[in-house]
Amino acid sequence: MTNSTSKFLVNMPTRSGSSSLGYPQPPISSLKTLESQVNANIQSTFSTKRKRTAASEIETPVAPVKGPRKANNTQRAPAKVVGRTDDAPEPKSKKPRTKKPEQEKRLRVFRKHAPQAYLDRLARATSQRMFAVSSSVNWTDSYPIMEFGMAGSTGNLYTVTIGKVPSCSCPDNQKGNQCKHICYVLSKALKAPAHLQYQLAFLSTELIEIYNGSYLSRETKPEENAAGKRKPIEGDCPVCFMEFEPDKENIVWCRGSCGNNIHKVCFDKWAATQRAHGVRCVYCRAPWEFETENLNMDELKKTGRVNDEGYVNVADQLGLSGERDSSTYYQPWDYRESYYYGRRRYRY
């Protein structure tokens, strides 16, 4: 070996105890440096473990240790048993639920305003001559049903019924329309409130309101005015519902009972259509006392004729023309008056 490597060789003991100079050994200064680095690494490892242990102790809360639950030595008072005596409190009874009364439903849709179809028929009812030849009231459990015998503008006799759903026996109403005869009865005869005159159905309360506001609720009974004194000529005629004009018209009155006034022409038409128990007063239903001889009802019935539509027509007896006034009608049927179809009277 050379001199440069001989300085790093250390005498190493052999098995025989002699040193061997065949292996290089590090210097003592480098061994001390290595030992100090090892000690520093060990100390840093211990300090890191301490920090981790301290952090875990801070983050993990320690649950408090609960002590054993103390036994509750207090005794409950025994429940008091109440015997079935008069002093025992009565159990509260639940009140039965009261059902609300069902609200009456209108059988047809309520009209908020008068439609044009009603206004057209009302114009016919007020401009054409028609007569109420009879009237009656039948009461149900809670509301009245008012029935009128109507002589139309052509002389046909119809029956108008004012109930929950007004009806008429005329062809126009049978088609589902509110006919002029119903309009006449509601507006002229019964003088119903304006907002009810164009309704297609009524409630019970509305029928009572119409009845109370009409002349039917104020009919005079025979015993109330038996003296037969004539009342002042004022107001409307109970047959045509037109205002009295004494200077232009002949007016008769009930001599036998109530003393109410009626147009002579209207009363003659009323008397001509009476069929049961003789002629009676329009107001009080008392037998009518004539100034002259009584009318022969049987002959008047014989003079009435049944037309081709099945209606009894008394136009001749009532002084009506028998031909319909169609001046206010919408006329899509001009073909009916053509040469091919000819000309025909239509009486509704």
Q: What is the pLDDT at residue 179?
A: 95
Judge if 207 and 170 occupy the same domain: yes
> How many domains would you assign to the chain?
2
How many alpha carbons fall within 13 Å on the CB side of residue 11?
Answer: 3
d(CA 283, CA 238): 8
Neighbours of 38 (CB within 10 A): 10
Give the model confidence (pLDDT) of 213-233 as tens digits: 998 887 644 444 445 578 888
Strands 131-139 and 144-151: antiparallel
Q: Which two tokens stand for residue 267?
A: 């009363």
Is 38 within a domain?
no
Q: Which of 198, 218, 238 corresponds to the end of one domain? A: 218
Judge if 283 and 226 occupy the same domain: yes
Judge if 123 and 208 occupy the same domain: yes
Q: Which of 184, 218, 252 corresponds to the end of one domain? A: 218
Judge if 123 and 211 occupy the same domain: yes
Burial class (CB in 10 A: 0-12, 13-18, 19+), 140: exposed
Judge if 210 and 125 occupy the same domain: yes
Residue 135 gets the label, from left (phi > 0), alpha (psi -120 to 50) or beta, of: beta
pLDDT at 126 exceeding the cut of 60: yes
Q: What is the mean pLDDT of the chain?
A: 73
Is 344 within a domain?
no
Judge if 204 and 136 occupy the same domain: yes
pLDDT at 339 exceeding the cut of 60: no
Is 250 within a domain?
yes
3-class DSSP state for residue 224? helix
Judge if 162 and 234 occupy the same domain: no
Is 109 within a domain?
no
Judge if 210 and 284 occupy the same domain: no
Give the model confidence (pLDDT) of 242-299 as tens digits: 888 888 888 888 887 888 888 888 888 777 776 555 677 888 877 777 653 443 434 4
Is 169 within a domain?
yes
d(CA 177, CA 154): 19
Give the model confidence (pLDDT) of 182-216 as tens digits: 999 999 989 999 999 999 999 999 999 999 999 88
Judge if 239 and 154 occupy the same domain: no
Q: Which domain holds residue 236?
A: 219-309
Judge if 237 and 264 occupy the same domain: yes
Task: Give the CATH number, domain containing residue 275.
Answer: 3.30.40
Is 84 within a domain?
no
Q: Which of 181, 201, 218 corresponds to the end of one domain? A: 218
pLDDT at 331 exceeding the cut of 60: no
As a whole number of angstroms, the longest Cα–Cα distance in the chain is 185
Judge if 237 and 303 occupy the same domain: yes
Is 96 within a domain?
no
Is 102 within a domain?
no
- pLDDT greater at residue 43 or residue 215: 215
